[in-house]
Amino acid sequence: MRAVRFDRYGSSEVLKVRTIPVPGPGRNDVLVRVHASGLNPKDAIVRRGGLRLLTGRAFPRGTGYDFSGEVVAYGAGVSDLTHGDRVWGFLDGFLGGAAAEYAVVPRGWMSRMPPRLRWVEAAALPLVGATALQGLRDGARLGAGERVLIKGASGGVGSAAIQIAKALGAQVTALASGPGIDHCRGLGADRVVDYRRTAPEFLEDRFDVFLDCVGRSPYRVYRRLFARGGRWVTIAPEPVVYALTPISRLLAPVLGGPRLGYVAVKPRRADLEELGRLVEGGLLRMPVTAMYPLDEIGAAHDAVAGLHGRGKQVIVISPEALSERDAGNEAVEVP
């Protein structure tokens, strides 16, 4: 099979498409023929060695976490999927490997793909959709009628978060800039604030929940934006957030500041099924703003490295997914 591998940390030039043996599934694994693979900032961060304390020095490594694909084989412990089933999901941790023609994935990290999606659209949603769901529903316990502020709202996680917050019945204020402003409106945000024109200290509203998909949010500035009982959930935590999280749980009820929390997304079959229900109900979609063939993996990594993504960028791998791209696809917004 053709698969992306790299032998050392560095710029996107270290990425190579190699021909390697198709791996075999373990007892509770599924061998997926990958049609498309979503890109995430994590791909570029891991490749350049930004998490090397966690990722170590074992090479070669793969890249790519999200996948849409079909089942071609499975271990003896898998009884509810069969050859040809269409699945979507994402790989946990930092090993990557979905930017390849085949990937071995534990059964619990995937679910059946929502029938209304095509390969490219399906590869765009799992990781960011699950992050937004786990951040808003589990981390923030966002409820109907509450007001949520989303920073990084036009990016992959933010785009999913706007729609999931609306599905939970919340009032959504999105922080975005440039073309991201119309993008957020199109996804259902009640209000969009151009963060390049209005700094957060000048927002007069008060929020029940702040979902931070960017980081670099000074506590002394953002703490003023909360209503009593507010929750601040970040997916891009900084040391101060780690330090203050346990204290804030104790002090928030007394002093009135927000309760802090962070989310490290986990691939859970039940959450992927929940995302599928939202998709099938017409409540969730992910605009794909760029597509790359496997051979352009370097350019694809460079495109997500800057943390200014809008919607999602996808690697198109199989001939079927390539023909979706070539035929035009109304879910795919060509910039």
Ligand X SMILES: NC(=O)c1ccc[n+]([C@@H]2O[C@H](COP(=O)([O-])OP(=O)(O)OC[C@H]3O[C@@H](n4cnc5c(N)ncnc54)[C@H](OP(=O)(O)O)[C@@H]3O)[C@@H](O)[C@H]2O)c1
Strands 171-176, 147-151: pairing kind = parallel
How many residues sit close enough to ligand X to count as binding (CB under 6 A)?
Answer: 29
Q: Which is nearer to ligand X, 83 or 216 (CB)?
A: 216
Q: How far apart are CA 127 and CA 265, in angstroms?
A: 8
Binding segment (CB under 6 A) for ligand X, from list 113-121, 149-157, 245-253, 318-326: 149-157
Beta-strand ranges (E) seen in the chain are: 2-5, 16-19, 29-38, 66-74, 86-90, 102-106, 110-112, 147-151, 171-176, 191-194, 207-212, 226-234, 259-262, 288-293, 312-316
Q: Is 128 a binder of ligand X (CB under 6 A)?
A: yes
Q: Report the residue from 158, 257, 267, 298 that binds ligand X according to the rule CB under 6 A.
A: 158
Binding segment (CB under 6 A) for ligand X, from list 80-88, 218-226, 253-261, 300-308: 300-308
Tokens of 74: 């499975």
Q: Report the residue from 53, 54, 254, 264 that binds ligand X according to the rule CB under 6 A.
A: 264
- Can you say whether the dihedral through the CA atoms of 323, 326, 332, 335 is positive or negative? positive
Residue nearest to ligand X (CB): 155
Q: Report the residue from 33, 35, 42, 285 that binds ligand X according to the rule CB under 6 A.
A: 42
Q: Which is nearer to ligand X, 71 or 161 (CB)?
A: 161
Question: What mask, x for binding ligand X by CB under 6 A, covers residues 185 to 224?
Answer: ----------x-----------------xx----------
Residues 6+ apart with CB under 8 A from 80: none
Q: How far apart are CA 86 and CA 32, in angstroms?
A: 9
Binding segment (CB under 6 A) for ligand X, from list 18-26, 152-160, 219-227, 250-258: 152-160
Residues 6+ apart with CB under 8 A from 87: 30, 32, 68, 69, 70, 71, 81, 110, 111, 112, 113
Q: Which is nearer to ligand X, 149 or 322 (CB)?
A: 149
Question: What mask, x for binding ligand X by CB under 6 A, covers residues 80 to 119?
Answer: ----------------------------------------
Q: Is 267 a binder of ligand X (CB under 6 A)?
A: no
Q: Is 309 a binder of ligand X (CB under 6 A)?
A: yes
**DSSP sequence for 159-200:** HHHHHHHHHTT-EEEEEE-TTHHHHHHHTT-SEEEETTTS-G
Residue 245 amino acid letter: T
Q: Is 41 a binder of ligand X (CB under 6 A)?
A: yes
Helix pair angle (126-133, 156-167), 10° resolution: 50
Distance in Å, CB of 335 to ligand X, minimum? 13
Residue 295 amino acid letter: D
Instruction: Give the CA angle between residues 192, 42, 157 to the nearest 5°.
Output: 25
Q: Is 175 a binder of ligand X (CB under 6 A)?
A: yes
Q: Report the residue from 91, 100, 142, 265 that binds ligand X according to the rule CB under 6 A.
A: 265
Q: Is 228 a binder of ligand X (CB under 6 A)?
A: no
Binding segment (CB under 6 A) for ligand X, from list 142-150, 172-180, 219-227, 239-247: 172-180
Q: Are 248 and 231 in contact (CB under 8 A)?
A: no
Q: Is 152 a binder of ligand X (CB under 6 A)?
A: yes
Q: Which is nearer to ligand X, 108 or 215 (CB)?
A: 215
Site for ligand X, rule CB under 6 A: 40-42, 128, 131, 151-152, 154-158, 175-178, 180, 195, 213-214, 235-236, 263-265, 304, 307-309
